[in-house]
Amino acid sequence: MIRRVAIVGYAQSHHQHNMQKTREDMVFEVCKEALHHAGILREDLDTVITASTDFLDGRTISSVFLSMAVGAFLKDESKVEEDGTFALYYALMRILAGTHDVALVEAHTQGSTLNPHQVSFYTLDPLFDRQVGVLNDVAAAGLQARMYMNRHSVSEEHLAKVAVKNIANAAENPCAHRQMPDVSLEDVMSSKLYYDPIRELTMSPISDGACALILASEEKAREITDKPVWIEGVGSCQDPYLRDRNIQNLDSLKSAANTAYKMAGVKEPLSDLDVAEVSEKFAHEELMIYEALGLCQEGQGKNLVESGTTRRNGEMPVNPSGGALGADPVCATGLIRVIEAAKQVRGEAGAYQVPNVRRALAHGQFGICAQKNTVYILGGNGS
Amino acid sequence: MKSESEIIDVKTLPFTANFIWATGFMMQRFIEELASRKILGVKCPGCGYTYVPPRSRCGKCYAKIEEENLVTLSGKGTLVSYTTGHVALDGQGNFIDLQEPAIIGAIKLEDADSTIFMPIEGIEPRDVVEGLKVELQWREETKGELEDIRCFKPA
């Protein structure tokens, strides 16, 4: 990259089913805390980028009422739709362009406003699929899971093992929504069946939540902190619409990861990375994500969960924070992964800290069957 | 803090949006031809990919697709994936439990590359397998509306 850019502060809410706070209060609190965490003032911000989705916010031009909550009063501010990792991309580009030095990136969703699965229906082709009327993100995930499972002899128990790993990890994370420390395979496999094989506990919970992070150019980052988390690589890519893609593979994630790896000089992901935080909205997606990220060969994702490789104390921990199965405030979920990865690099992850993290991967996604994907590679001073 | 039942929720605003979308030439032909029990697709002149429903520009090679590229598909296809829904959304954000589970199929029509997603009827969920041959069920009287295509059944 032409300039080095680092994450220098962050904060997230205690994600939960219904926060009973206004969106503005929820967002203000995380932005204020992120500034405090970085040890800077609102006056130090050059630009603010937010992410949300109008349908999920229940209003259009949904950032209009947020500019003060995010600290952008009389400042340069812009918004992207969908996942917070796209907002981070935008902020990164502003700093790389040399026109700004310090950015605040914010993302949020209150799932209690309108069921995000209902909103997913409104992302379908209005001229055909919405008229047929049977699909939504959970139904499509059921089709994707079945196809992937048939192709690679993956059982429902493999999916349940992913869910148990992540939900148990979430119990160590005070910000996670699901707090089920004793969750068992039986709990997962007997949870309510939505669209076979997708069950209540193999899909993410509907959460209220927000997060914010502070991004700075190298010069500013070194002034602000002695523990900058450098963005070493980034890649973003999208698949075609559901009808014209192969939903059993995450081709766009593979492409995004390869771009990020090339930029960061990652050659062997399994050995070059120390931890990954990924946006698995459904348990089967985590197995598909392992493969797209090159942590294993195609179809071998189940082996990584069977062998314990991706457990918190495994060779390649994935989602020690609990991932999206731990909390899913939709538009914030990817940016929370970036924050969790940054916490691991800085050694600030507390009860779920992975030892000796030098390099971490964070992944955000949006759209039915993970249509759009963004990958970040983060590193500390020593990486 | 007040319990959830004590919190006053601001409900919906009295606003109903009646969206009107332009269908475009290809989709209009697709819908009109349903009246004569024809399923139209287009075969891209650039890369040969066959879209259903049809479209006017290839999303893969960007070739312009013309009326002459329209092809009639048989309405027969193969199930490439399936799921049994035990719930359905009610349009207001609630998952409603279904009395009878409903099967949704991912179907590749003969000579098409797109996958379409439609209800599957006439078979028990436990009997559904990948590779099942299925056939489109037409509404008794076809009118040139999307409602003419109801579901697929085993062929």
- Confidence band for A381, pLDDT divided at 50, 70 and 90: confident
The pLDDT tens digits for A138-155 are 999 999 999 999 999 999
| Least Cα separation, residue B69 to chain A (angstroms) | 18
Residues 14-43 of A with CB under 8 A from B: 18, 20
Structure tokens at B6: 């004590």
Query: Amino acid identity of B71?
Result: V
Q: Are A328 and A17 in contact (CB under 8 A)?
A: no
Query: Amino acid identity of A173?
Result: N
| Least Cα separation, residue B80 to chain A (angstroms) | 7
| Least Cα separation, residue A369 to chain B (angstroms) | 13
- Confidence band for B4, pLDDT divided at 50, 70 and 90: low
- Confidence band for B19, pLDDT divided at 50, 70 and 90: confident
ipTM for the assembly? 0.94
Look at phi and psi of residue B116 and say left if phi exceeds 0, alpha if psi is from -120 to 50, else beta: beta
- Confidence band for A64, pLDDT divided at 50, 70 and 90: confident
Cα torsion A13, A17, A19, A25: sign: positive
Structure tokens at A58: 């229940």
Average per-residue pLDDT for chain B: 94
- Element holding B28 (H helix, E strand): helix B24-33
Model confidence at A45: pLDDT above 90 = yes
Q: Are A293 and A237 in contact (CB under 8 A)?
A: no
- Measure the CA dihedral B128/A202/A287/A359, to 10°: 170
DSSP string, A277-294: E---SBHHHHHHHHHHTT
| Least Cα separation, residue B74 to chain A (angstroms) | 18
Rounded to an integer, the average pLDDT of A253-279 is 98
Structure tokens at A97: 């362009």
The pLDDT tens digits for A197-210 are 999 999 999 999 99
d(CA B140, CA B150): 10
Strands B50-51 and B70-73: unpaired
Structure tokens at A231: 């963005």
Burial level of A355, CB count in 10 A (0-12/13-18/19+)?
exposed
d(CA A73, CA A75): 5
Q: Which residues of A touch B103 (CB under 8 A)?
A: none
- Predicted local distance difference test score (pLDDT) of residue A176: 98
What angle in degrees, to the nearest 10, is found between the helix axes of A283-292 and A251-264? Answer: 50
Asked if A244 and B27 come within 8 Å (Cβ–Cβ), the reply is no
> Could you tell me where the beta strands, DSSP code E, fall in A137-252?
193-195, 198-199, 208-217, 229-238
Which residue carries 């496999």 as its tokens?
A189
DSSP string, A236-305: EEEPPPGGGS-TTS-HHHHHHHHHHHHHHT-S-HHHH-SEEE---SBHHHHHHHHHHTTSS-TT-HHHHH
The pLDDT tens digits for A115-146 are 999 999 999 999 999 999 999 999 999 999 99
Share of chain A above pLDDT 70, in %: 99
Model confidence at B140: pLDDT above 80 = yes
- Predicted local distance difference test score (pLDDT) of residue B10: 73
- Confidence band for A65, pLDDT divided at 50, 70 and 90: confident
| Least Cα separation, residue A289 to chain B (angstroms) | 20
Half-sphere exposure of A326 (CA within 13 A, CB side): 31
The pLDDT tens digits for B51-82 are 999 999 999 999 999 999 999 999 999 999 99
**Separation of first and last alpha carbons in chain B:** 59
C-alpha A81 chain-centroid distance: 15
Q: Are A362 and A375 in contact (CB under 8 A)?
A: yes
Domain assignments of chain B as residue spans, ordered by start: 24-154
Strands A47-52 and A76-81: parallel
d(CA A295, CA A290): 5
Which residue carries 């990375």 as its tokens?
A273
Asked if A136 and B89 come within 8 Å (Cβ–Cβ), the reply is yes
Model confidence at B13: pLDDT above 80 = no
> Could you tell me where the beta strands, DSSP code E, fall in chain A?
5-12, 47-52, 76-81, 102-110, 193-195, 198-199, 208-217, 229-238, 275-277, 359-366, 372-379
Q: Which residues of A touch B27 (CB under 8 A)?
A: 127-128
Q: Are A180 and A17 in contact (CB under 8 A)?
A: no
| Most A-contacting residue of B117, B136, B152 (CB-CB within 10 A), to test interface | B117
- Element holding B128 (H helix, E strand): none
Q: Are A106 and A30 in contact (CB under 8 A)?
A: yes
- Confidence band for B7, pLDDT divided at 50, 70 and 90: low
Rounded to an integer, the average pLDDT of B35-63 is 97
d(CA A247, CA A189): 24
- Predicted local distance difference test score (pLDDT) of residue A383: 53
- Answer whether CATH 3.40.309.10 is correct for domain A5-115+207-224: no
Asked if A244 and B102 come within 8 Å (Cβ–Cβ), the reply is no
- Predicted local distance difference test score (pLDDT) of residue B2: 64
Share of chain A above pLDDT 90, in %: 96
Asked if A135 and B104 come within 8 Å (Cβ–Cβ), the reply is yes
* Nearest Cα to Cα of residue A163 among A133, A140, A145, A185: A185
- Predicted local distance difference test score (pLDDT) of residue B9: 73
Model confidence at B5: pLDDT above 70 = no
How many other CB atoms are found less than 10 A from the CB of residue B4?
11
- Predicted local distance difference test score (pLDDT) of residue B17: 77
B11 vs B146: which has the higher pLDDT = B146
- Predicted local distance difference test score (pLDDT) of residue B16: 73
d(CA B104, CA B122): 12
Strands A102-110 and A47-52: parallel
The pTM of this model reads 0.97
d(CA A152, CA A299): 5
Q: Cβ of A153 under 8 Å from any chain B Cβ?
A: no
Asked if B125 and A247 come within 8 Å (Cβ–Cβ), the reply is no
Residue A204 DSSP symbol: -
Q: Cβ of A114 under 8 Å from any chain B Cβ?
A: yes
